[in-house]
Amino acid sequence: MSSNVNTAGAGTMKSSMTQTQRRTRYLVISAMLSAVSIVLMQFDFSVPFMPSFIKMDLSDLPALIGSFSMGPLYGVIIALVKNLLHLLRTSTGGIGELSNFLLSALFVLPAGLIYQRNKTRKRAIIGAVVGAVCMAVCSVITNYFIVYPVYTAFMPMETIIAMYQAILPKIKDGDLLSCLVIFNMPFTFVKAMLSVAITLLIYKPLSPIIHGE
């Protein structure tokens, strides 16, 4: 993910592809990465010290790769298509997908914007960490106002909070905000950073394939 590699790659791409061809290629790659995201969503798993209904997955990984390799707009497109496809089997009437899209966009957009200004590994790490922080902080807002009110249609809020209290008894009855800040926010940050770590490991061999080099 060095600047020299990306500069050379950009020159090769410009000489061998027209702008229309490059855009078409990026749209095809975006569709493929969106499909990979959907597959990754199926491999979710529970983690210790979190309520059982909260699952870890790596479905934001393809959007982050797309944001770095093709630009932040394509990262957002991948996140959008992933959630549009997931609407076909939604159990939240689209609310969960809306929240997932917003958080994914808040993750990959700043990451891609910061990296695109200077394509170095250091900028990639800075951008990804900034995106992960944005995603984690905003997860409190989306969960508090969007997702958990929908959950109460299937499970009483008292039951939801009791699942957090089983892990941390000092949480007060009805204190959903504390649950989200203490549990969900760091969980979301760790989830994002897992995608960051994997991206940093696999981006360099994937980049030539994405750019058609």
Rounded Cα–Cα distance for residues 77 and 60 (Å): 12
| CATH code of residue 41 | 1.10.1760.20
Residue 198 has pLDDT above 60, yes or no: yes
Asked whether 88 and 79 are in contact (CB, 8 A), the reply is no
34-40 CB contacts, 8 Å cutoff, 24+ apart: 34/62, 34/77, 34/78, 34/81, 34/82, 34/85, 35/85, 36/62, 37/61, 37/62, 37/63, 37/78, 37/79, 37/81, 37/82, 38/82, 38/85, 38/86
Query: How does residue 207 score in pLDDT terms, banded at 50, 70 and 90?
Result: confident
Domain extent for 75: 3-208
Check residue 16 and give its pLDDT.
57
Nearest to 67, CA basis, from 56, 78, 57 = 78
Question: Does residue 44 sit within a domain?
Answer: yes
Question: Does residue 94 sit within a domain?
Answer: yes
Question: Does residue 213 sit within a domain?
Answer: no
Residue 201 has pLDDT above 90, yes or no: yes
Q: How many domains does the chain have?
A: 1
Question: Does residue 70 sit within a domain?
Answer: yes
pTM: 0.87
Residue 200 has pLDDT above 80, yes or no: yes
Check residue 93 and give its pLDDT.
82
Question: Does residue 18 sit within a domain?
Answer: yes
Question: Does residue 187 sit within a domain?
Answer: yes
Q: How many CA atoms lie within 13 A of 190 on its CB side?
A: 12
Query: How does residue 1 score in pLDDT terms, banded at 50, 70 and 90?
Result: low
Mean pLDDT, residues 120-132 taken together: 96
Mean pLDDT, residues 22-41 taken together: 94
Check residue 90 and give its pLDDT.
85
Rounded Cα–Cα distance for residues 37 and 40 (Å): 5
In sequence order, what are the beta bridge partners of 45? Answer: 56
Q: Calculate Rg over the CA atoms of the chain.
A: 19
Could you count the other beta carbons within 10 Å of the beta carbon of residue 185? 19
pLDDT-wise least confident of 10-14, 60-64, 66-70, 126-130:
10-14
80 to 2, 33, 195: CA distances (angstroms)? 28, 11, 17
pLDDT-wise least confident of 27-41, 67-81, 198-212:
198-212
End-to-end CA distance of the chain: 15
